[in-house]
Amino acid sequence: MNKSFLELTTEFLLKISPIVTSVILIFLDSIPKHFGISSFTSFFGFCVLYIWVIIDHEKIRPFFILLLSVLIDILSNLIFGLTSVFMFVIFLIQRKNSEFLFSESILKIWIRFMFFFVFYFIFVVLIHKIVFKIVYFDFLNIVFSIALTGLMFPLLFWAINLLNNELKFRDE
């Protein structure tokens, strides 16, 4: 009954880990772009938010999905709300049928993620072209972003799944 400060801190950090992991990776994504190192963005924050939604959509509430998605939009210089709409669609799909995006096979999860991620990029590019008429997108950066994020997805999924299992273990 009498828990130490370290145990209480660990439990608190584990409970807010979906938000913390997403925020950290969203900011890490934006560092190269905002410090003039590179115009490349990896979208690991998007990837982690997607993973939390498909692993356990009850751990991350819609309000936090909205805030994190808006943060992705702001730091990636995207139209405000595009990522939010996309993430809410994924959230609603997962809430309606939790087996649609999540599977026992990492390959199926990976393929579904790549499908949604490529569709997300097409959606963002089309909306930017429609709204701003003349928009330049570096095709090589987009392909590199999709490839790197896609290649890192299994590693991020594994890490988030371990964290989620630890949360489940602590809850029981």
Q: What pLDDT, in 10s, does the model give residues 4-54? A: 888 788 778 777 888 888 888 888 888 877 676 766 778 888 999 999 888
118 is written with which tokens?
């490529």
pTM as predicted: 0.85
For 73, what's the count of Cα atoms within 13 Å in the CB-facing half-sphere? 19
CA distances from 137 to 7, 43, 134, 149 (A): 48, 16, 10, 18
Digit-coded pLDDT (tens) for 57-112? 777 888 999 999 999 888 887 788 889 999 998 898 888 876 666 777 888 889 99
Give tens-digit pLDDT for 111-164: 999 999 999 988 888 888 888 876 677 788 888 888 999 999 999 999 998 988
Distance CA(74)–CA(109), nearest Å, equals: 28
Check pLDDT > 60 for residue 1. no
**Contacts for 157 with CB less than 8 Å, ≥ 6 apart:** 51, 106, 109, 110
Using CA atoms, how far apart are residues 142 and 165, in angstroms rounded to an integer? 33
